[in-house]
Amino acid sequence: MAKIFQVSARAGMTRVVEPLARGLLRAGVTPNAVTVTGTVGVLVGALGFGARGDLVAGALIVTVFALTDLLDGTMARMSGGSTRFGAFLDSSMDRIADSAVFGAVAYWLATEGDHAGVAAALLCLAAGSIVSYVKARAEGLGMTSNVGIAERTERLLIVGVGGLLTGLGVPMALQIALWLLAAVSIFTVGQRMRHVYRQARQLPAPGANG
């Protein structure tokens, strides 16, 4: 059921993103420019607002600019596919943005004396990095690992909703979102490792003849 919802949500977003992507390409905007702009926007939302406790503005800014992760990919596909540098830039900017978001959340929770919340934020940061690393390492070994219930966009949306609700006065919403995100991120690591394990069993061992 979660997978069906995830696919439906992405299909709905695609119908919104594709016209915008076409318009930007016609205007001469490159996917790489969108990637960098999205990262800068996330940094402003996270460090300029979220870290200071302005959670509503921070969550809204981060969520809007996080969606450029779908936009630049759509633009790259429409323009003939991502370049090697484009793929490298996208991955690098994602890690910078993720570090800013969860670092800002951890910092604000620390100023509030919420040590459990800080632990959850740091766990989300670590687990999210592992989710991305498993995929990159699998692809480097000639396999795929593009599976899991908590990919990057979903992770940022979860923490964004938690921050927004907390900023609107809902008690513990951010902390609940962080622990939920930590759990689904760890589960996603397991999903991806299992997926790679199944593929690896079908491949010859390194150095094997034949």
Domains of the chain: 2-198 (1.20.120.1760)
pLDDT band of residue 70 (cuts 50, 70, 90) is: confident
Q: How many helices (H) and strands (E) does the chain have?
A: 8, 0
Amino acid 18 reads E
Q: Look up residue 12 and give its two tokens.
A: 């709905």
Are 145 and 138 contacting, i.e. CB atoms less than 8 angstroms apart? Answer: yes
Residue that has been written with the tokens 């940094």 in this structure: 43
- For the segment 180-184, the average pLDDT, to the nearest whole number, is 94
94 is catalytic: yes
Distance, C-alpha 114 to centroid of its chain: 24
Amino acid 54 reads D
pLDDT band of residue 63 (cuts 50, 70, 90) is: confident
90 among annotated binding-site residues: yes
146 among annotated binding-site residues: no
Catalytic site residue from 54, 94, 98, 114: 94
Are 129 and 189 contacting, i.e. CB atoms less than 8 angstroms apart? Answer: no
Angle at 41 between CA 36 and CA 46, to 5 degrees: 125
pLDDT band of residue 99 (cuts 50, 70, 90) is: very high
Q: Which residue has the higher pLDDT, 210 or 116?
A: 116
What is the rounded distance in angstroms from the CA atom of residue 159 to the CA atom of residue 124? 10
Are 60 and 116 contacting, i.e. CB atoms less than 8 angstroms apart? Answer: no
Kindly state the DSSP code that residue 206 receives in the 8-state scheme.
Answer: T
Alpha-carbon distances of 80 from 25, 59, 72, 73, 76, rounded to whole Å:
12, 33, 12, 11, 6
pLDDT at 160 over 60: yes
What is the rounded distance in angstroms from the CA atom of residue 52 to the CA atom of residue 48? 7
74 among annotated binding-site residues: no
Weakest-pLDDT range from 63-72, 119-128, 183-192: 63-72
pTM score above 0.75? yes
Q: Look up residue 55 and give its two tokens.
A: 């959670």
pLDDT at 1 over 50: no
Q: Which of 151, 107, 170 is nearest to 2 (CA)?
A: 151
200 among annotated binding-site residues: no
